[in-house]
Amino acid sequence: DFLSALEEVKPLFGAAEEELGKRLLGGIINYSTFIDDILEEGRLYTNQVRKPGSTPILSVALHGPPGSGKTALAAKMAIDSGFPFIKFVSPEDMVGFSEMQKVQQLDKIFRDAYKSTLSVIVIDNIEMLFDWVPIGPRFSTSVLVALKVLLEKQPPKDRRLLIFATTTERSVLTQLDLFHRFDAEIAVPNVNTQAELAHILQHSGAFADRDLQRAIGEIQEITGSAEVGVGIKKILTGIETAKQDQDMPGRFARVMSHAIAVNKA
Amino acid sequence: DFLSALEEVKPLFGAAEEELGKRLLGGIINYSTFIDDILEEGRLYTNQVRKPGSTPILSVALHGPPGSGKTALAAKMAIDSGFPFIKFVSPEDMVGFSEMQKVQQLDKIFRDAYKSTLSVIVIDNIEMLFDWVPIGPRFSTSVLVALKVLLEKQPPKDRRLLIFATTTERSVLTQLDLFHRFDAEIAVPNVNTQAELAHILQHSGAFADRDLQRAIGEIQEITGSAEVGVGIKKILTGIETAKQDQDMPGRFARVMSHAIAVNKA
Amino acid sequence: DFLSALEEVKPLFGAAEEELGKRLLGGIINYSTFIDDILEEGRLYTNQVRKPGSTPILSVALHGPPGSGKTALAAKMAIDSGFPFIKFVSPEDMVGFSEMQKVQQLDKIFRDAYKSTLSVIVIDNIEMLFDWVPIGPRFSTSVLVALKVLLEKQPPKDRRLLIFATTTERSVLTQLDLFHRFDAEIAVPNVNTQAELAHILQHSGAFADRDLQRAIGEIQEITGSAEVGVGIKKILTGIETAKQDQDMPGRFARVMSHAIAVNKA
Amino acid sequence: DFLSALEEVKPLFGAAEEELGKRLLGGIINYSTFIDDILEEGRLYTNQVRKPGSTPILSVALHGPPGSGKTALAAKMAIDSGFPFIKFVSPEDMVGFSEMQKVQQLDKIFRDAYKSTLSVIVIDNIEMLFDWVPIGPRFSTSVLVALKVLLEKQPPKDRRLLIFATTTERSVLTQLDLFHRFDAEIAVPNVNTQAELAHILQHSGAFADRDLQRAIGEIQEITGSAEVGVGIKKILTGIETAKQDQDMPGRFARVMSHAIAVNKA
Amino acid sequence: DFLSALEEVKPLFGAAEEELGKRLLGGIINYSTFIDDILEEGRLYTNQVRKPGSTPILSVALHGPPGSGKTALAAKMAIDSGFPFIKFVSPEDMVGFSEMQKVQQLDKIFRDAYKSTLSVIVIDNIEMLFDWVPIGPRFSTSVLVALKVLLEKQPPKDRRLLIFATTTERSVLTQLDLFHRFDAEIAVPNVNTQAELAHILQHSGAFADRDLQRAIGEIQEITGSAEVGVGIKKILTGIETAKQDQDMPGRFARVMSHAIAVNKA
Amino acid sequence: DFLSALEEVKPLFGAAEEELGKRLLGGIINYSTFIDDILEEGRLYTNQVRKPGSTPILSVALHGPPGSGKTALAAKMAIDSGFPFIKFVSPEDMVGFSEMQKVQQLDKIFRDAYKSTLSVIVIDNIEMLFDWVPIGPRFSTSVLVALKVLLEKQPPKDRRLLIFATTTERSVLTQLDLFHRFDAEIAVPNVNTQAELAHILQHSGAFADRDLQRAIGEIQEITGSAEVGVGIKKILTGIETAKQDQDMPGRFARVMSHAIAVNKA
Ligand SMILES: Nc1ncnc2c1ncn2[C@@H]1O[C@H](COP(=O)(O)OP(=O)(O)OP(=O)(O)O)[C@@H](O)[C@H]1O
Ligand SMILES: Nc1ncnc2c1ncn2[C@@H]1O[C@H](COP(=O)(O)OP(=O)(O)OP(=O)(O)O)[C@@H](O)[C@H]1O
Ligand SMILES: Nc1ncnc2c1ncn2[C@@H]1O[C@H](COP(=O)(O)OP(=O)(O)OP(=O)(O)O)[C@@H](O)[C@H]1O
Ligand SMILES: Nc1ncnc2c1ncn2[C@@H]1O[C@H](COP(=O)(O)OP(=O)(O)OP(=O)(O)O)[C@@H](O)[C@H]1O
Ligand SMILES: Nc1ncnc2c1ncn2[C@@H]1O[C@H](COP(=O)(O)OP(=O)(O)OP(=O)(O)O)[C@@H](O)[C@H]1O
Ligand SMILES: Nc1ncnc2c1ncn2[C@@H]1O[C@H](COP(=O)(O)OP(=O)(O)OP(=O)(O)O)[C@@H](O)[C@H]1O
Ligand SMILES: [Mg+2]
Ligand SMILES: [Mg+2]
Ligand SMILES: [Mg+2]
Ligand SMILES: [Mg+2]
Ligand SMILES: [Mg+2]
Ligand SMILES: [Mg+2]
């Protein structure tokens, strides 16, 4: 009945808050105007679902290079929605599950969501959920097909659902006939300009102004380009590694240059 | 015996009505003359099956691009038939089923249908029922073979069955030797002209005349073409998204242009 | 013992008669001289098996395009044999069987046949029995191998067996090393000439002479050829569809032209 | 112990005699000198194994086109050996066996053979035993590997084993690294000359001399060649089919010409 | 509870010490300055993880040719960390495990690690853990996906984890989208110069100075190059083999030349 | 405990002696100086392992064409070692084993070996142990991976292990990344010169000098070359076959020429 359903939903939300918090440990640094634009897009879709009478299911794909901040941004949007049911679904929680168990778990999550009038589900790393491996290629057909179906399945009457999914593999999702099933997409870019990088370094408080300039200068020297092209996640880890080194700016420059080169390869 | 069989059939029909209703939430907007033509074709096949003495099984494939309205039209035809047994079969209802379970479920649905003198079965998204994935390609051989057989299996004496199936993958069905087993086919097109699009926008009541013209104009500007080429489903969702934006016509134009571009890619 | 064996055989025959009747609902229309030739061939092989002392197992493959009448002709030949044991084997009866269950069922059917001195087994749609799908290609190796073996297995002493198999896939059977195991083959052609088509239309009694000529004329106009090239099955269904239309000859012409075009594609 | 072992072996031999007899229903017609040569080769290998002190396991592959007489000749050689243990292994006896069951059955047969001092095992249609299908290609790895191992496995002390295997697929066996494991090979040819064919026809007693000449003449006319190129099995069946026809020589010529053409395709 | 958890962790560490010792039987010979550089890198990452407040999980890939010393160096770094929980994971310990059992074992090891505040896990031969075989190629998707997830999974609050993984297949890991998930990489080179080789030979104490020069000279003669290019592991085994031969330097030169040639092939 | 462990080891050794004897039925004929060289190499590796303090595990691959004597030579070396634990592992002993059972059996054999201070394991036909079939190619990944791991796994303290493996597929082992895991390799050649062949024939005592010359001469005539190129195993069997023939040298020449031709194909 309805009461016990509500009871079941509450703790799920509590658990999700902790889960979501873990994805936001690095905060959301406002290093470029497009960060605000992305969050504004999220509010738009949240409002659309909130409004009674409109389409009862809406799905949004956040895609971009590794470490660009997709998961953190999706977590932020989910929290900002204020919807009573929020669920964070991640491949981490399904290590060692059989294909069938994964499908059943996904099905259960959607059925749980339908117990609340307004729900958000974040599906993190969707391509890893169906075990995508580029060699072969290999993937779990049954999990993929379940995701396709669940993305388009009409909720029961008076239930409204918003789905955020993150992926580094937009083109794979397209080839698998999965991508066009999303109602909308949001592109999350790398940190690309030296100004953006400087903003982040300053925000970290780890570098003296002078060291900051030296680090950025050395990166340009090593990579031979003023374009940066690396995810914010690697930048934040790189700062920490550099802190262990006596020559902090030099080490930071080397670590970043290596990451940029690996990205390009 | 016959009475208990009838009892079993009744509730199935009830359930189907609700199922079918859910597929018709956006109604059937008469945005072009071919909508009437399609429904007329449906009536023709319904009449053929209804007539005693003619071929006791008839199958019709509705094919067309994503979101063009195949499911809604098939649901409408099924309801319009007035046949005592109507069943809507969808991949949604078989999430987490094994191949064998799917085959058994399909077999049961056909056997149920034979309990009524006149029956309609709608098989929605037939290619997803056999787990078609274009990479590989992959699909469930046993479900595919079961569908082939069931499509051509003669009903018992004095039982007459009409099958509507929907698909976005006509050529896949052809390659799999499934398509030619249908007795007839109905092509469901995209919304292709600006007049058709205008009809739908007007019907929605969301746009002032002036905004409507601006929206259509901007789409032509962005896409560089007067041809539209998008399913009615995306149009209806696009209107709702646009409503959240202060600049409704501008947002609608951007959303549609993106959808048209993705379709062409 | 022998008596109980006979008892087991009798009902099998009864069931077969009904099964075979269902395949002959459209009768055998004598629309060309080769229909008689084909039935004469059937009698020849029946006589060969009937004669004691000759080879105790004989297998005949009926092959031809979809809907050309293979199943009806094989059913006719089986009935005409007058053999005490007749069994009709069809993929329809094995929906949802595992590979192993299919093999066991086939094995049982052959063992049942050996309980009678003279037996006929009709294997309908043999390529679907081993789940042939052209993409891949895929097929059930174990069912295929079982069929190969059963086709060549010597019956016990004083037992004589005739096998008719139907297929649309002669070349597939050849590639799979199955075809050459048949002792003889019978080709079943499409309805190819306008005279043959006229014969069938007249036999149906549905068309006035004038309409008949108009229909055939329009087909030639649409297809741009005097050659017909379609199976009798599509013709019989097409007549029924046309009957629902006010413009019967016109609709018949359109339906046939479409079928002919699909065949050629 | 030894006595019970002997008891187990006896009935096996009895069964084998019946099995072997069934393969020799058409006799061994001496239609060419190479028939004697082949049987002489068989005696040579039998003697080699019989001689104490020599190599305790010897395997011989009989290969040739379909229906050329491989099975009959292997059966004849096995019978002529006079060895106390003879076993005929055929895919027929393993219909519906799993791979594992086949391997276990093969293993058992070899262990049974080792209970007798002198044994012959005939492995008929060896490529079908491991489910060889040319499309793919597919085959049972575990049965193949078991056969490889069993062909080379040293018998226990004072046990001597002779193996005859038949196959139409010498080149497949070579590619699978199976063929070179045989100690010797015997090629069994088609009936290739008109003289050989005439010998067989005369032996059948079905044709008057004049009809015989006419039949052979017509074959040459239809095929456009004096070379025959067909297995003796098809010839013997062809004679029987022809007997049902009023024009016996004509029908025989047509049936043979068709068989020859199919062989060449 | 916490106490019993600690108890579980202790013995694990004890066992690891023995495990790690076994990988260091040949010691760490300081044959080049880059050996120190590598160990210094290890200390840097250890310090980064040790520092509270920084990123709680850090993974480092040691890659290089076979036998170059990857495992020994990873073991050394793990011991040098002095972390209270150290676990050495090797394919050796999972012989005969099913894929599912491997995944569960890996999952357990990570959960065990989280019982300690500071932990090191060494994953040896990571590509063999997921059964990589270059022909096919083949690999265990489920183990690979589990490793991907575990490498990036955030530890619980106040838990910090350092991962060292060794591999000879850096490019394979890249193609499988596994490599970029490591936070850092360390390249372990072959012994490449004659000076390095001389250092190792001298350190072994097995060669008189004169023999040492002769051995190196002969290697250059046979291989036609002053470059060495072989892992330290083969060098240490080669010294032992050579000791058995009267002509120790000659034998050593032959063995090394062979190893170098095989490496190049 | 140690005593019961010893008890378990003893009978294993006894069984091995019989097993090894069976592989040496044809003796070791000293037909060329390289036979001594090969056995000398074996003694070298045996001594290396025997010496305490050196590397505790050593693996040697014997590779060469079919029938060249690999198994006999490996058996000889194992016996000559005089080590207290000797185990002969052959695909023969694992007919009908599942992959998992093979892996467990291999694991058990290695664990048994570690119960003795000094042990030899002979792995015969290693590529057949992991079910290598060149078409596909196919092989058992789990057995292959288990062999890779076991070949490199460090024995427990104070345990020393020598492994001889035989194979006809050196290049396959290389492609599978298995070959480079062996510490050493020994090439076993065919009988290649007429002098070598003459030595073997003389040793057999079956030929008069004159017949011997005639046989060798005829081989040269038939093959058109003075090079022989056949394994000693085929030569020994060929002598026995020839003995059955009245024209012994002629038959021997024909059998050998055929074997040489098959080898070259
Ligand atoms: N503006 C920002 N946008 C996103 N993340 C940010 C931003 N500022 C700081 N961060 C921090 O950067 C990190 C981004 O990592 P996150 O895991 O979200 O990236 P990702 O794109 O999901 O990576 P992956 O491709 O590995 O899944 C987080 O720790 C987040 O708190
Ligand atoms: N003339 C029309 N024809 C079809 N659908 C219409 C029409 N007018 C309005 N609609 C509405 O448009 C939507 C069409 O969506 P529907 O799911 O039927 O499309 P579809 O082609 O089946 O999509 P998919 O390819 O995703 O299966 C429905 O909500 C339907 O009510
Ligand atoms: N001369 C004829 N030969 C065969 N069938 C005929 C003939 N005249 C009428 N018919 C009718 O035509 C239909 C032929 O259909 P049938 O199922 O036998 O074709 P088919 O070739 O087996 O089709 P499919 O390729 O789908 O298996 C039957 O209803 C049969 O009664
Ligand atoms: N000289 C002969 N050699 C072989 N078979 C003969 C000979 N003379 C008559 N026969 C008869 O010819 C038939 C040969 O058929 P058999 O099954 O042995 O051929 P096969 O080559 O094994 O065929 P398949 O390729 O189908 O296995 C048998 O009935 C046999 O009795
Ligand atoms: N400087 C050194 N670096 C690494 N190993 C050394 C060094 N000096 C001596 N050794 C010894 O060399 C051997 C290196 O073998 P190790 O197993 O670590 O190599 P590996 O690269 O892991 O080999 P594999 O590719 O087979 O996994 C060890 O016995 C180690 O004790
Ligand atoms: N010098 C020799 N070297 C090896 N084998 C010899 C020699 N002299 C005689 N023999 C005999 O030759 C035979 C060689 O056969 P063996 O099975 O060892 O060959 P193989 O190379 O292992 O064959 P396969 O490739 O089939 O495994 C044995 O019977 C052995 O006793
Ligand atoms: Mg992420
Ligand atoms: Mg639809
Ligand atoms: Mg049919
Ligand atoms: Mg045969
Ligand atoms: Mg290592
Ligand atoms: Mg061998």
**pLDDT tens digit sequence for A173-210:** 999 999 999 999 999 999 999 999 999 999 999 999 99
Which domains are delineated in chain C? 2-187 (3.40.50.300), 194-264 (no CATH)
Question: Is a pLDDT exceeding 90 seen at residue D212?
Answer: yes
Q: Phi, psi at residue D166, to the nearest 5°?
A: -115, 150
Q: What's residue C1's pLDDT?
A: 46
User: Measured between alpha carbons, how far is residue B172 from residues B135, C147, D211, E194 in Å?
Assistant: 12, 29, 56, 63
pLDDT single digits (tens) E115-125: 999 999 999 99
Per CB-CB distance under 8 Å, the chain D contacts of F92 are 149, 152-153
Tell me the C-alpha distance between D20 and D90, whole Å.
11
How confident is residue E14, by pLDDT bands cut at 50, 70 and 90?
low
pLDDT cut 90: percent of chain C above it: 88
3-class DSSP assignment, residue D11: helix
**CA-CA distance, B163 to B86, in Å (whole number)?**
10
**Beta carbon of B206 within 6 Å of any ligand 2 atom:** no
Supply the pLDDT for residue E13. 55
Q: E43, E107, E149: which to substitute to probe chain A, counting the most A Cβ within 10 Å?
A: E149
Average confidence score pLDDT of chain F: 93
Q: What percent of chain A has pLDDT over 70?
A: 94
For the sheet with D57-63, list strands across it. Answer: D85-89, D118-123, D160-167, D57-63, D184-187
Residue nearest atom 19 in ligand 5 by C-alpha distance: E69
Interface touch B244/A103, C-beta < 8 Å: no
Cis preceding linkage at E137, omega within 30: yes
* CB burial of residue F203 (10 Å; 0-12, 13-18, 19+): middle
Residue E261 has pLDDT above 50, yes or no: yes
**Interface subset of F 103-132, CB within 8 angstroms of E:** 103-104, 106-107
E225 in contact with A, Cβ within 8 Å: no
A97 C-beta neighbours (distance < 10 Å), count: 17
State the ligand closest to the CA atom of E30.
5
**Ligand with minimal distance to F169 CA:** 6
The ligand 6 site (C-beta within 6 Å) comprises F 24-29, 31, 35, 66-73, 125, 166, 168, 231-233, 236
Residue listed under structure tokens 């977590």: A75
Q: How confident is the model at residue B13 (pLDDT cuts 50, 70, 90)?
A: low
Q: Which residues does E83 contact at the CB level (< 8 Å), separation at least 6? A: E46, E50, E116, E118, E119, E120, E162
- What is the Cα–Cα distance from A75 to A88, expressed in whole angstroms? 8
Question: With a cut of 0.95, is the ipTM above it?
Answer: no
> Sheet containing F118-123: which strands, arranged edge to edge?
F85-89, F118-123, F160-167, F57-63, F184-187
Assess whether the C-beta atom of A66 lies below 6 angstroms from ligand 1. Answer: yes
User: E8-38 b/e with 16+ CB inside 10 Å = b?
Assistant: ebeebeeebeebbebbeebebbebbeebeeb
From A7-21, B136-150, F15-29, the region with the lowest mean pLDDT: A7-21
Structure tokens at C177: 């090393």
User: Is a pLDDT exceeding 80 seen at residue F248?
Assistant: yes
| Residues near B90 by beta carbon (within 8 Å), at least 6 away in sequence | B19, B124, B125
CA of E176 to the centre of ligand 4 (A): 55
Amino acid at E25: L
Neighboring chains of C (3 or more beta-carbon pairs < 8 A) = B, D
To the nearest whole Å, the CA of F23 is away from the closest chain D CA by 9
- Give yes or no for residue B24 having a pLDDT over 80: yes
Measure D172 CA to nearest chain F CA, in Å. Answer: 9
Alpha helix ranges (H) inside chain F: 2-22, 33-50, 70-81, 99-113, 126-129, 141-152, 170-175, 194-204, 209-223, 232-243, 248-264
CA distance F124 to E32: 42
Least confident window among B91-95, B260-264, D73-77, F207-211: B260-264
pLDDT at F6: 44
pLDDT grade for F164, boundaries at 50, 70 and 90 = very high
From E120's Cα to the closest Cα of chain F, the distance in A is 22
Mutation target for A interface from B240, B246, B256, B258: give the one with most A CBs within 10 A. B240
Least confident span in B159-168, D17-26, F239-248: D17-26
Supply the pLDDT for residue A5.
46
Atom of ligand 5 nearest to the CA of E64: 21
Mean pLDDT of C215-224: 97
How far is C203 from C197, CA to CA, in rounded Å?
A: 10
C135-194 pLDDT, tens per residue? 999 999 999 999 999 999 999 989 999 999 999 999 999 999 999 999 999 999 999 999
Q: Hey, what are A64's tokens?
A: 């971009």
Rounded CA-CA distance E17/E12 in Å is 9
Query: Rounded to an integer, what distance in angstroms lies between the CA atom of residue B192 and that of residue A44?
Result: 28
Q: Is the CB of E25 under 6 A from ligand 5?
A: yes
User: Is B9 a residue whose pLDDT tops 60?
Assistant: no
H helices, E strands: number in chain D: 11, 5
Closest chain E residue to F54, measured at CA: E240
| Mean pLDDT value of segment D210-228 | 97
Atom of ligand 5 nearest to the CA of E72: 18
E194-207 tens-digit pLDDT: 999 999 999 999 99
